[in-house]
């Protein structure tokens, strides 16, 4: 009888210990589960805050870029309509004075030289105004504007600049078109001025869901990781690309040229 009571007591104790162990395990698992849930909530909030900060930074960058373009547009109008109009008026008045005056041959040559200088100044002013805000981009789109840009730059001595367009001749959001055009300008100018390229190929790929530009040059190249040390050009381009959710791909190495591809989604 005594032995049976001891066995019963030991069995009961084992059952209690087992239940206690199970309870501890359940409490531990529940605590770990709650901790994991809390950590996940913290990570989600941190990710949301990070995305919100990134979105604010992108909006701020877009606002700065749009402000710059608005100022460029204003300057282009002031140059073309204001100063350009004044210079054209001066030329007309001078030409009228020549027709109504009797001047010596030497003075006539000096007069004609002044007229030619005015013509050159007016052409240069129009070129600067066009670079600030290309009218062909507003009226005819990327393909025509880039083709005109290449035709103008292609007159640089010892330089071969090629432009090719693939896909449809589509129109996009005005700000996106302007961003793509500015980036193409910057990349081509970098290749000519800083890379010492003799040949530069610019390609435009246009479709309903994306627009892509590619610039390939045979310049001196560089180590991509050290690109930021050579100036702010690529940094500015990356900021423009990020501001419009684009993709930036760069391949280059010293002595072997550079290839840069930039793609923007079209919403």
Range of the domain at 147: 136-267
User: Which of 108, 133, 158 is a domain's end point?
Assistant: 133
pLDDT at residue 80, rounded to an integer: 53
DSSP class of 133: S
Give the separation between CA 16 and CA 22, rounded to whole angstroms. 10
CA dihedral 59, 62, 64, 66 (to 10 degrees): -140
Give the separation between CA 76 and CA 73, rounded to whole angstroms. 5
**Domain shared by 111 and 161, yes or no:** no
User: Which of 133, 159, 174 is a domain's end point?
Assistant: 133
pLDDT at residue 244, rounded to an integer: 84
pLDDT at residue 264, rounded to an integer: 94
**Domain shared by 202 and 94, yes or no:** no
**Domain shared by 170 and 210, yes or no:** yes
**Domain shared by 31 and 106, yes or no:** yes
Give the separation between CA 44 and CA 96, rounded to whole angstroms. 76
pLDDT at residue 72, rounded to an integer: 66
**Domain shared by 127 and 6, yes or no:** yes
**Domain shared by 259 and 140, yes or no:** yes
Q: Angle 134-139-140 (CA atoms, 0-180°, nearest 5)? A: 95
Contact 266, 211 (CB under 8 A): yes
**Domain shared by 6 and 125, yes or no:** yes
**Domain shared by 9 and 128, yes or no:** yes
**Domain shared by 121 and 157, yes or no:** no
pLDDT at residue 2, rounded to an integer: 62
Residue 14 CB-density burial (10 A; 0-12 exposed, 13-18 middle, 19+ buried): exposed
Ranges of the chain whose pLDDT falls below 50: 230-231
**Domain shared by 3 and 109, yes or no:** yes
Per-residue pLDDT tens over the stretch 61-116:
666 666 666 666 666 565 655 555 666 666 666 666 665 566 666 667 777 777 77
**Domain shared by 91 and 119, yes or no:** yes
HSE at residue 30, side-chain half, CA atoms within 13 A, is 6
Q: Angle 175-193-177 (CA atoms, 0-180°, nearest 5)? A: 10
């Amino acid at each position: 009888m005594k032995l049976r009571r001891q066995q019963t007591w030991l069995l009961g104790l084992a059952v209690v210990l087992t239940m206690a162990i199970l309870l501890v395990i359940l409490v531990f698992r529940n605590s770990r589960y709650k901790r994991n849930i809390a950590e996940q909530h913290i990570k989600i909030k941190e990710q949301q805050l990070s995305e919100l900060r990134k979105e604010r930074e992108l909006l701020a960058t877009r606002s700065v870029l749009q402000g710059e373009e608005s100022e460029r547009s204003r300057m282009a109008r002031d140059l073309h309509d204001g100063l350009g109009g004044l210079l054209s008026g001066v030329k007309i008045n001078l030409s009228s004075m020549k027709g109504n005056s009797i001047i010596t041959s030497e003075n006539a040559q000096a007069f004609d030289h002044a007229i030619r200088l005015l013509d050159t100044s007016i052409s240069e002013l129009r070129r600067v105004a066009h670079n600030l805000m290309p009218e062909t981009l507003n009226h005819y789109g990327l393909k025509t504007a880039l083709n005109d840009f290449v035709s103008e730059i292609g007159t640089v001595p010892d330089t071969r600049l090629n432009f090719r367009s693939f896909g449809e001749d589509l129109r996009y959001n005005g700000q996106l078109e302007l961003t793509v055009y500015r980036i193409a300008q910057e990349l081509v100018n970098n290749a000519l001025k800083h890379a010492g390229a003799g040949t530069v190929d610019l390609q435009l790929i246009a479709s309903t869901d994306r627009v892509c530009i590619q610039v390939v040059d045979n310049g001196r190249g560089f180590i991509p990781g050290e690109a930021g040390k050579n100036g702010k050009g690529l940094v500015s381009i990356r900021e423009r690309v990020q501001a419009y959710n684009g993709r930036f791909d760069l391949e280059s190495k010293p002595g072997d040229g550079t290839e840069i591809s930039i793609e923007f989604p079209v919403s």
